[in-house]
Structure formats: structure tokens, C-alpha cells
Amino acid sequence: MASYRDSPPSETTPLISRPFERKDANYERFSFWRKQAILLTVCGCCLLNLFTACSFSSTIPQIANEFNTTGGVVNISVGLFLFTTAAGSLFWARYSAYYGRQPIYVVSLPLYIFASLGVASCRTVPELMVYRTLQAFGSAGFQSLGAAVIADIFKLEERGRAMAIYGCFALLGPALAPFIGGLMSEQISWRFMQAFLGLIGLMALVIIITCLPETMHPGTRGMDKVDVETEKKGHLIVLLNPFSPLALMKSPVLSLTTIASGVVVITQYVILLPLAYTIAQRYGIENKALVGALFLPYGLGNIIGMPISGWLSDSAVKSWRIMRGGKWVPEDRLRATWHGSLYIVPLATMALGLVIQFVDGMWGIWMSMVLLLVHGIGMCLVISPCSTYNVDAMQDRSAEAVAAKNATRTALVSTFVFAIFPAIELMGVAWTNIVAAIFAWIGFGLIQICIRYGAPMRAWSSVPHTDGTH
């Protein structure tokens, strides 16, 4: 990977002087429409990962009844899925930096297909846990790989829009998966949903093999450097430390934005994960398809919010660069998070808990749906700029940076996932959501620290950043 340690750290960096931006040919290797096709392909794989992660949300009661256990026990599989995703994303990202993006998709998808069929055929809770863990590992790399592919083929000024589209597809998973899973569970069985995911995985594998080119810039793969430096060919398998990307978390800006986005994602899980036990039971909704439909306003919010977040993100970069006379500060992208992190996410989280606990009848249902929509918009306004900022700041190790961020954030979120149901039982929905809203405000504070002190923190860090600071 290229090193920028020789460049002096500065508060602002001219956009035209950054080394990776001078290599415009690397971003012109693919035509506009080929880039859109590649973007659509990686979006589909990322959606598959999150669709799988969230497909249990609306069917937890049915699975619990079938296995003669409780919803809390089945919910453990959700936590295991998140933990495994965190570790797996590190593993796949590390090897993608060595072998390239496309080979990792080709290797991980067959494991995902096998595990999905295993989940569909399991007969005991331990089997369910094992296959869900393998399913998580097989799909764990899709998020970080997709973001890295976007960084490979889109220039800085195009990247916010591309990441917004990518994020929109990603966030459709938590919104649509419960509805479709609930509908299939109501009409057929929850097992059919898992088998269907395996079939989709097989289709994705065929598309990856036939249509996805290698997107890493020529000469930047680890195996390319080994060939050049040692003049040895034919290295097929190497042993790499999958946890080495976590060293990137020594970057204070990566750590702070990861924690900030993590506490925002916690509010999403606090709202969506127990939905079948909160809104559904509170208002007497028993049909599984209707329970799944409760998640749709959130997905609509994501669809509305992601294009807005992409536009705000790119606009913030362009407008602040103009005000500085053409100089670029990576943290300018984070300014697009202001309204979402300060107002929309925490206030919608708090209000939803109060509505569920205290408002009866149809008014309660409609107010809950509106707040889910609003929260879905707010989530996009925070998550998308933070994710794109991480790619901007660590372009040359984008897959590893995204994996480190996702792993740390997922470990943080999964810890809280185990506590959601006990918290609701102990404190009630309203107080649980109020606590989650407080965490969201903490996230807002961390983002503001990055905006104000990002440049000196990057300069102090021992981790090289794309703009030349370290």
C-alpha cells in the first residue's frame, strides 16, 4: 500500500495535491455504466447479508414455539450472528487486501449457501445456532468488500452518491426482511425463507463469477507486491492475521466515528428487534405478515433518507472546499450528520417509546408508523456520511478500515442486543428508548469532536491517512 508519511500534516490539504487523486486513470478503467453495474452487484450482496441478519425479527415467536423455547433464547442467535459478522468481516477484508475483492466473494458465497440450507433444515436450537453462525461468517465480508469496491472505482466527488445508494440497499435489509420473512412464515414456513436466501446466494455467486471484475488498482494487491519484491510466482495460499485491521482503530477519528455510528445503530435495534413484542402485542396484531409490515415505514424512511444523505454529504465537501479556496478537509463530510444525530434519531427514538407505552388504539399505531419513518430517515443522515468519511480518510486500506469499523461497531451493538429484551421487561419500552436516545446524543457529541479536532487527531495518530497526515 502507498504510504503518505513523508507528506507534512496540515489542517487542510489541497484536493489536487493528494496522491490518490492524481491517479485519475485508476478511476477511468471502467465506463459509467460498467460502474453502475458493479455498484448494483455489490449492493445486492450487501443487501443479502443484512436481509439474512434481520430475517428472524418477525418470526422469533414462531421459531420459539416450534423449538419449545422462549423468544429470548432464539434472540441469542441474533447476537451470535452479529458477533460472527464482526470477526468474519475482519477475516475477509484482510484477505481481500491480499488476493483482491472478487476472489473473496467467490470463496465466501458457497459457505453462505451451505449454511442457509442448514438453517432451513435444522431441528434443534443448537443446530440453529451453529448454522446461523456459519451463515454469518459466509456473508460477513459483503459490507466491507462492497464499500472497498466503491472506493476502488469512484472518485472523491462521486463517492458520496455511490455510498448513499449502497447504504440505501443495505438499510433495506432491516426494513424489508421482517416483512417478507413474516409473510413467508405466515403462508409457508420460516424455513422456506432461509432456503430461498440460499438460492439467492447461488444466483449471486453466478453473477459474481461472470460479471464482477477485479476492482483494486493495479499493483496494490498484497500478492502483487510479493511478486514484485521477491520475484516469486505461484503463491496460492498465505496465512494472514485477520485481526490486523483492528490496528487501524488506533486512528482516533476512525474510533470516534465508529462509536458514534454504533450508538446510533443501537437505537435502530432497540426499535426494530422487539417490534413483534412491542407494537404488535401492544396493539393486538397477531398475523405474522402484518407484523412484518410494521417494518415497512422504516424501509421507506431509508429510501427517502439515503439519497438526501448522499447529496448533503457531497455538497458539504464541495461547499466547504470552495470556502477554503480549493482546500479539502475530510471532516467536512461529517457536517452532513448534524440534523440526524442531534434531533431526528434521538427524539424519534424517545417519542416512539412514549407512544407505544402510553397511546392506545389506532392513534398509537399511526403515530408509531410515522416515527419509524422519521427514524429511518435520520439513521441515513448519520450512518452514510460517517461511512463515506472512513473510506475518504483511509482510501488505500478501505476494505480493512470498513471491516475494522464494522467489527468494532457490531461488537458494540451485539453487546446491547443481548440486553434489549431484559431492559424492556425491567424498565418498560419508554425508559428503554429514552436510554437509547441518550446514547444517540453521546454519538452526536463524538462526531462534533471529530469535526472540530479531526485534523490534529489525524496528525497525532500513528495510522497513515489518505490526505497525508499520520
- 72 against 425, higher pLDDT: 425
Name the pLDDT band for 57 (thresholds 50, 70, 90): low
pLDDT at 11: 38
361-393 helix and 252-272 helix, angle to the nearest 10 degrees: 160
* Distance set, CA 21 to CA 42, 51, 328, 388 (Å): 23, 35, 12, 16
DSSP 3-state assignment of 13?
Answer: strand
pLDDT for 3 beyond 80: no
Burial class (CB in 10 A: 0-12, 13-18, 19+), 364: middle
Give residue 435's pLDDT: 92
Based on the number of CB atoms within 10 Å of its own CB, is 350 exposed (0-12), middle (13-18) or buried (19 or more)? Answer: buried
> Which has the closest alpha carbon to 1: 222, 152, 243, 246?
222
User: Which of the pair, 216 or 171, is modelled with greater confidence?
Assistant: 216
DSSP string, 60-116: HHHHHHHTTS-HHHHHHHHHHHHHHHHHHHHHHHHHHHHH-HHHHHHHHHHHHHHHH
Measured in degrees and rounded to the nearest 5, phi and psi for residue 23 equal: -90, 55
- Report the pLDDT value the prediction gives residue 58, as an integer from 0 to 100: 64
**What is the pLDDT averaged over residues 300-317?**
82
Lowest mean pLDDT among 208-212, 404-408, 460-464: 460-464
Q: Cell numbers of 353, please?
A: 417509546
Let me know: does 102 contact 210? Beta carbons within 8 Å. no
Q: How many CB atoms within 10 Å of residue 250? A: 12
At 319, give phi and psi (nearest 5°): -70, -40
pLDDT at position 350 is: 94
DSSP 8-state assignment for residue 247? G
Whole-number pLDDT of residue 4? 33
pLDDT over 50 at 1, yes or no: no
What integer pLDDT is reported at residue 146 of this predicted model? Answer: 82
pLDDT higher than 60, residue 7? no
Q: Identify the residue whose cell numbers are 440497499.
A: 169
CA end-to-end span of the chain: 15
Confidence of residue 15 (pLDDT cuts 50, 70, 90): very low
Q: Give the per-residue pLDDT at 439.
A: 92
Does 309 have pLDDT greater than 90? no
Q: Of 40, 461, 436, which Cα lies nearest the Cα of 255?
A: 461
CB neighbour list of residue 129: distance below 8 Å, 6 or more residues apart: 76, 77, 80
359: three-class secondary structure by DSSP: coil
Confidence of residue 10 (pLDDT cuts 50, 70, 90): very low
Summarised one tens digit per residue, pLDDT across range 140-159 is 888 778 878 887 888 766 77
Average pLDDT rounded to a whole number, residues 66-84: 71
Higher pLDDT, 80 or 113: 113
At residue 111 the predicted structure's pLDDT band, cuts being 50, 70 and 90, is very high
Question: What pLDDT is stored for residue 256 in this prediction?
Answer: 92
Q: Taking 50 as the threshold, does the pLDDT of residue 18 lie above it? A: no
Could you tell me the residue ranges of all domains in the chain? Answer: 21-460
Place of cell 487501524: 248
0.85 surpassed by pTM = no
Q: What percent of the chain has pLDDT over 70?
A: 83
**385-421, pLDDT tens digit by residue?**
888 888 777 766 766 777 788 778 877 877 777 788 7
The tens digit of pLDDT for each residue in 339-397 reads 899 999 999 999 998 998 888 888 888 998 999 999 989 988 998 888 888 877 776 67
At residue 206 the predicted structure's pLDDT band, cuts being 50, 70 and 90, is very high
At residue 324 the predicted structure's pLDDT band, cuts being 50, 70 and 90, is: confident
Q: What percent of the chain has pLDDT over 90?
A: 14
**pLDDT of amino acid 289:** 67
| Predicted pLDDT at 374 | 94
Mean pLDDT of 93-97: 80
CA dihedral 463, 23, 217, 231 (to 10 degrees): -90
Q: Is the pLDDT of residue 253 over 50?
A: yes
Instruction: Return mean pLDDT, the chain.
Output: 79
- pLDDT confidence of residue 436: 92
User: Torsions phi, psi of 327, nearest 5?
Assistant: -90, 145
At 328, which amino acid appears?
Answer: W
Name the band, by pLDDT with cuts 50, 70 and 90, for residue 73: low
Q: In this structure, what is the dihedral angle of CA atoms 423, 428, 434, 439, given to the nearest 10 degrees?
A: 10
**130 vs 6: which has the higher pLDDT:** 130
* Cα 71 to Cα 85: distance, rounded to the nearest angstrom: 21
What pLDDT, on the 0 to 100 scale, is given for residue 373?
A: 92
Residue 144: partners with Cβ closer than 8 Å, 6 or more residues away = 89, 92, 93, 96, 399, 400, 402, 403, 406
pLDDT band at 222 (very low <50, low <70, confident <90, very high): low
* Cβ neighbourhood burial of 187 (10 Å; 0-12, 13-18, 19+): exposed
- Count CA atoms within 13 Å of residue 349 on its CB side: 30
For residue 467, name the pLDDT band (cuts at 50, 70, 90). Answer: low
Phi, psi (rounded to 5 degrees) for 425: -65, -35
Q: In angstroms, rounded to a whole number, what is the distance separating the alpha carbons of residues 97 and 187?
A: 44
Place of cell 461472470: 210
Contacts of 190 (CB under 8 A, 6+ apart): 56, 59, 62, 63, 181, 184
Per CATH, the number for 21-460 is 1.20.1250.20
Most confident of 84-98, 251-265, 272-286, 455-469: 251-265
Largest CA distance in the chain: 73
Stretch (H or E) spanning 176: helix 156-187
